[in-house]
Amino acid sequence: MSISGNIAMSVLRAVHPGKGSFSNYEKSLKKAKRENERFSFHMPKSRRAELRLVENTLKPCLVIRPHNLKYENKVLLYLYGGVTNQWNTQRRMAIQFALDAGVETWYPVYPAITEVSVAESVAYITDIYRRMRERFSNGKIAVNGVSMGGYFALQIVNTINREGMDIPMPDLLLAHSAGGIPQSDEDWNELRRFEARDPMFSESDLRMVERLIPHDTPISKELLAPALGRFTGAPDTYLYYGEEMLAGNAAGYRRAFAASGVSSRLHVTIVPNMMHGYSCLPIFPESKQSYYEAIDRIQKM
């Protein structure tokens, strides 16, 4: 456990304003709408990669092709996190991931779950994955997701199974601080075990997110709850969590993978005294280890 990590967590616990910030439904929804409008898509630029858009998509999907491309037959689908449209705030992370892995990376600007039903977001992301499979039929595809994006990464496999889609599974799944909303007291208790040490999120935050996402559309519990997912045929899947409330979701994912007969393909890392999303920010010794492990797995898949 690094000294720098200890200091960072102590500062977050002392000053972070986000914990419990989703306390009022109407205010939370208005704030989310403002953020979604503020972060509407514009075509970015990069000196280190060629950027272009996938044609004929409902929402923009950015393709990041590094100038230092190392692998023509390996591709990455990068899914950012957040309940609002955070594509631009995490764009540099996606570009850096593409550069470090040396692979072409697809970066869909999916409809935020505070704009549309979460089922619609999952459907859009799964369709982008389907298009990648058509484009790279002989290649290997890794899916890397952060926070809400980690949840979406897992939902690609769940959706293929639930809907009986004739699409090959990803070759690798990497989910950093993957979300999910428990649908049982047992699973909520798992999250509560970690909540006290989490400097950023509380149970009330996640309960509010649960209220924000349906948009008056019935949502299947299998789409929300980690424990109810269908993961038959899943590839090697690596979950990375810091000392955070969402680490409690790991128990649900373990049960779901076991029920799907693929328990040996789920690998969970929970690092003490690290924050939400730590493994995507190679700043501390612990985060560098997890980050470069993920890069290495993409390159070796």
pLDDT for residue 37: 86
Edge-to-edge strand list for the sheet holding 71-79: 49-53, 61-66, 103-108, 71-79, 140-146, 172-176, 237-241, 266-270
Q: What is residue 83's DSSP assignment?
A: S
Which has more pLDDT, 75 or 89? 75
pLDDT for residue 94: 97
- Average predicted confidence (pLDDT) for the chain: 90
**What mean pLDDT comes out for the span 116-142?**
95
pLDDT for residue 176: 98
**What mean pLDDT comes out for the span 113-123?**
91
pLDDT for residue 111: 85
pLDDT tens, 252-265?
A: 999 999 999 999 99
**CATH number of the domain at 3-300, please?**
3.40.50.1820
pLDDT for residue 83: 85
User: The tokens of 142 are what?
Assistant: 């890794």
The one-letter code for the residue type at 16 is H
Asked whether 244 and 192 are in contact (CB, 8 A), the reply is no
pLDDT for residue 99: 97
pLDDT band of residue 7 (cuts 50, 70, 90) is very low
Q: Taking CA 76 as the corner, what is the angle to CA 52 and CA 51, rounded to the nearest 5 degrees?
A: 15
pLDDT tens, 213-246?
A: 877 788 889 999 999 999 999 999 999 999 999 9
Lowest mean pLDDT across 15-29, 64-78, 188-202, 262-276: 15-29
Does residue 164 have a pLDDT over 70?
yes
Does residue 200 have a pLDDT over 60?
yes
Does residue 123 have a pLDDT over 90?
yes
pLDDT band of residue 10 (cuts 50, 70, 90) is very low
Which run of H or E residues covers position 292?
Answer: helix 285-300
Strand, helix or coil for residue 71: strand
Which has more pLDDT, 14 or 170? 170
pLDDT for residue 215: 78
Picking from 213, 191, 210, 212, the residue whose alpha carbon sits closest to that of residue 202 is 191
pLDDT tens, 11-65?
A: 444 445 455 555 577 787 788 888 888 888 999 999 999 999 999 888 999 999 9
Asked whether 219 and 119 are in contact (CB, 8 A), the reply is yes
Does residue 144 have a pLDDT over 90?
yes
In angstroms, rounded to a whole number, what is the distance separating the alpha carbons of residues 262 and 265? 6
Output the pTM of the full model.
0.92
pLDDT for residue 131: 96
Asked whether 228 and 123 are in contact (CB, 8 A), the reply is no
Residues 6+ positions from 11 with CB-CB distance below 8 Å: none
User: The tokens of 64 are what?
Assistant: 């990041």
Asked whether 252 and 246 are in contact (CB, 8 A), the reply is no
pLDDT for residue 20: 54
Which run of H or E residues covers position 208?
Answer: helix 203-212
Asked whether 79 and 150 are in contact (CB, 8 A), the reply is yes
Q: Cα 39 to the chain's mean position, in Å? A: 19
**What mean pLDDT comes out for the span 124-153?**
96
